[in-house]
């Protein structure tokens, strides 16, 4: 199906610049969120009508002064992306989400790019990724971080992605169906927010958590998702998605039993709470 949607998405560079300058919070709507809105389950989150309704409402409302709402930057210049990525959007994403995207179109919103945290693997030209990551790290330069992630995500473990942060605290959440523990997760975030930059890697649940808490907290909250996999792949210099054995890897989320967690005392010291 050809892409003839009149949907405006700012590019990833502009999205990152806005985050750096204005300290907004941000939530991302990828194919998984759109699947849920359409009534389908995804590998790590079963369909829940309440969750799907909240996601659709947030998507159609679009960005406001404090909260940026992101979509895939695929409505123009698809040739920036590799064959696998282009084929996915042309043959799956656009036809599957045709009716929903028409609804989005009618809102006349301007969205930011969800690819602000996926600046490497799907791009044909990967030459700017290193500089882009260096700029992205300015988001948490000398800041105290609260990372809210699933059990197997282990974002930043074994690499220097967050090495320039002042401190890191981690709230470890269920790897699947985290939405069922949303209230408990929100309470723990509120309890530990202090003056921290809050980064969430928690799938669809992250979106509703940020939306719920934005009225209560002044913190910048960024639903940053698969940033760790992208960083690992960039450091490896690979051109195709490869599985990282000791932690969750983007697009390899069908079987967490394949993940062999490694003992890491420094990582364990960062954990302030584990929600089963």
CB atoms within 10 A of CB 229: 26
Please write the tens of the pLDDT for every residue from 93-139.
999 999 999 999 999 999 999 999 999 999 999 999 999 999 999 99
Q: Provide the residue ranges of all domains of the chain, joining segments of one domain with +.
A: 8-274
- The stretch 172-199 carries a mean pLDDT of 98
DSSP per residue, 228-255: HHHHHHHHHT-SS----TTS--TT-TT-
pLDDT category of residue 243 using cuts at 50, 70 and 90: confident
Q: Which pair of structure tokens corresponds to residue 110?
A: 């301007």
For residue 255, the model assigns a pLDDT of: 55
- The residue among 275 and 254 whose pLDDT is bigger is 275
Instruction: Calculate the dihedral angle through the C-alpha atoms of 148, 111, 230, 262, rounding to the nearest 10 degrees.
Output: 10
Chain centroid to Cα 171, Å, comes to: 16
**Cβ atoms 120, 128 nearer than 8 A:** no
- For residue 234, give both structure tokens: 């960039």
Residue 223 to residue 26: CA distance in whole angstroms:
6
Q: What is the pLDDT of residues 47-67, one digit of tens each?
A: 999 999 999 999 999 999 999
What are 186-239's pLDDT values in tens digits? 999 999 999 999 999 999 999 999 999 999 999 999 999 999 999 999 999 999
Strand (E) or helix (H) holding 39: none
Spatial CB neighbours of 53, under 8 Å, sequence gap ≥ 6: none
pLDDT band at 252 (very low <50, low <70, confident <90, very high): low
Q: What is the pLDDT of residue 268?
A: 93
First to last CA, the chain: 42
Q: How many CA atoms lie within 13 A of 214 on its CB side?
A: 22
Residue 180 pLDDT: 98
What is the pLDDT confidence band of residue 2, given thresholds at 50, 70 and 90? low
8 Å CB contact between 52 and 36: yes
The tens digit of pLDDT for each residue in 18-48 reads: 999 999 999 999 999 999 999 999 999 999 9
């Amino acid at each position: 199906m050809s892409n003839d949607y009149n949907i405006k998405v700012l590019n990833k560079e502009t999205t990152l610049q806005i985050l750096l300058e204005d300290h907004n919070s941000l939530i991302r709507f990828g194919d998984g969120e759109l699947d849920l809105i359409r009534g389908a389950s995804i590998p790590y989150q079963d369909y829940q009508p309440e969750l799907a309704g909240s996601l659709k409402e947030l998507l159609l409302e679009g960005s406001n002064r404090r909260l940026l709402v992101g979509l895939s930057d695929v409505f123009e210049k698809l040739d920036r992306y590799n064959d696998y990525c282009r084929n996915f959007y042309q043959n799956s994403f656009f036809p599957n989400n045709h009716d929903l995207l028409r609804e989005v179109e009618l809102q006349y919103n301007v969205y930011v790019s969800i690819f602000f945290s996926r600046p490497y693997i799907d791009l044909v030209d990967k030459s700017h990724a290193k500089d882009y990551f260096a700029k992205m790290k300015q988001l948490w330069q000398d800041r105290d971080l609260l990372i809210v992630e699933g059990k197997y995500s282990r974002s930043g473990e074994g690499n220097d992605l967050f090495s320039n942060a002042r401190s890191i605290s981690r709230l470890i959440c269920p790897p699947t169906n985290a939405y069922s523990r949303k209230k408990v997760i929100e309470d723990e975030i509120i309890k530990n927010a202090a003056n921290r930059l809050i980064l969430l890697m928690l799938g669809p649940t992250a979106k509703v958590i940020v939306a719920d808490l934005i009225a209560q907290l002044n913190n910048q909250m960024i639903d940053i998702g698969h940033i760790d996999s992208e960083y690992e792949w960039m450091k490896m210099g690979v051109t195709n998605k490869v599985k990282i054995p000791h932690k969750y890897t983007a697009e390899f989320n069908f079987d967490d039993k394949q993940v062999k967690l490694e003992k890491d005392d420094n990582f364990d010291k960062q954990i302030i709470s584990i929600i089963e």
